[in-house]
């Protein structure tokens, strides 16, 4: 199975980057499953129903959120009606929506996507993600009832994200971090076969402070206060993502590669030989 995970989409420029690059990537690289984080898609704060619909039309199969998902008034109703839009699974069961979805892809293969929220320095309160995944993996097993398990961990602390990667190594296909909007250069396959990246970055304008207009942020840090209202930077966005191939029999990763296109970040020089475009089966 070929999986593409896209970093936090931030504002209009981020949405435009996804619209510009995702459809062709999905087609040219014969990608089977696309997961897009939309926690900041609506002017930096959550996602609207119309935007969610547009992301699915662009080629997304699953949308994830995070700590800003509930900033939009329509979020609870949207989460109840659109099961492919995930809120963190380890939030209380009384919260609207779900954090798990099963997706059928080529040739009857099935993937489970799990969205989690971190517990260090995060405003949302949820169950311990490590305990949650232990319970989750009693039901979902690669090579038994699913062919791949994708875990997207929306967390602040890099240590917490790295720890979860090692904790799940060999038990899931891929663990990726989101939320900090800065791509880390540690994409790899862990010892027991799980693909991992601490943070896949954002689809947003990097001439900014983590996607927001830099002038307001600079005032806050330099003066100790800021009277301005945060708004997304509006320049050309960089599309940041991680591409993963998995073995259909074991669910474990066989190759991984970052894809960085457009905007101010250095683009991916080339795709690894293992990611030569292939025919869709």
Cα(118)–Cα(101) distance, integer angstroms: 19
Task: Say which of 43, 68, 115, 181 is annotated catalytic.
Answer: 68
Q: Please state which of the four CATH numbers 1.10.150.120, 3.60.21.10, 3.90.1150.10, 1.10.10.10 is assigned to the domain occupying 2-273.
A: 3.60.21.10
Distance spanning both ends of the chain, measured CA to CA: 11
Model confidence at 281, pLDDT cuts 50, 70, 90, reads: very low
Model confidence at 277, pLDDT cuts 50, 70, 90, reads: low
DSSP, residue by residue, 224-266:
S---SPP-B--SPPBEEEEEEEE-TTT--EEEEEEEEESTTSP
Tokens of 26: 């999905």
* Helix axes of 158-168 and 129-139: crossing angle, nearest 10 degrees: 20
Instruction: Name residues whose C-beta falls within 8 Å of residue 136's C-beta, 6 or more positions apart in sequence.
Output: 89, 100, 114
Residue-range domain boundaries for the chain: 2-273
CB 128 within 8 A of CB 164: no
**Can you give the pTM of this predicted structure?**
0.94
CB 121 within 8 A of CB 107: no
115 is catalytic: no
pLDDT: which is higher, 116 or 269: 116
pLDDT at 138 over 70: yes
74-125 residue pLDDT tens? 999 999 999 999 999 999 999 999 999 999 998 899 999 999 999 998 887 7
Instruction: Name residues whose C-beta falls within 8 Å of residue 19's C-beta, 6 or more positions apart in sequence.
Output: 54, 58
21-57 residue pLDDT tens? 999 999 999 999 999 999 999 999 999 999 999 999 9
> What mean pLDDT do residues 187-201 have?
98
Give me the pLDDT at residue 272, please.
Answer: 46
Q: pLDDT above 90 covers what percent of the chain?
A: 84
pLDDT: which is higher, 273 or 189: 189
Tokens of 61: 């199969």
| Average pLDDT value over all residues in the chain | 93
Q: pLDDT above 70 covers what percent of the chain?
A: 95
| Cα separation values, 62 from 65, 138, 143, Å | 10, 23, 22
CB 256 within 8 A of CB 239: no
213-260 residue pLDDT tens? 998 888 888 888 777 788 999 999 999 999 999 999 999 999 999 999
């Amino acid at each position: 199975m070929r999986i593409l995970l896209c970093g936090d989409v931030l504002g209009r420029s981020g949405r435009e980057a996804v619209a510009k690059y995702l459809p062709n990537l999905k087609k040219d690289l014969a990608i089977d499953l696309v997961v897009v984080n939309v926690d900041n898609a609506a002017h930096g704060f959550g996602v609207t129903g119309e935007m969610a619909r547009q992301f699915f039309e662009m080629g997304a199969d699953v949308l994830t959120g995070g700590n800003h998902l509930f900033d939009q008034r329509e979020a609870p109703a949207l989460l109840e009606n659109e099961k492919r839009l995930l809120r963190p699974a380890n939030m209380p069961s009384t919260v609207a929506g779900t954090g798990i979805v099963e997706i059928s892809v080529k040739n009857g293969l099935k993937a489970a996507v799990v969205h989690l929220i971190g517990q260090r320095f995060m405003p949302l309160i949820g169950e311990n993600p490590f305990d949650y995944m232990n319970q989750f993996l009693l039901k979902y097993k690669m090579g038994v009832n699913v062919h791949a398990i994708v875990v997207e961990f929306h967390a602040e602390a890099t240590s917490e994200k790295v720890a979860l990667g090692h904790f799940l190594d060999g038990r899931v296909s891929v663990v990726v971090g989101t939320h900090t909007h800065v791509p880390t250069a540690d994409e790899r396959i862990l010892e027991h076969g799980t693909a991992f990246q601490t943070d896949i970055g954002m689809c947003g304008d990097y001439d900014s402070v983590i996607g927001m207009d830099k002038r307001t942020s600079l005032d806050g840090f330099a003066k100790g206060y800021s009277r301005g209202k945060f708004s997304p930077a509006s320049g050309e966005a960089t599309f940041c993502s991680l591409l993963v191939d998995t073995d259909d029999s074991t669910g474990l990763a066989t190759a991984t590669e970052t894809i960085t296109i457009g905007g101010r970040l250095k683009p991916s020089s080339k795709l690894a030989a293992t990611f030569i475009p292939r025919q869709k089966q």
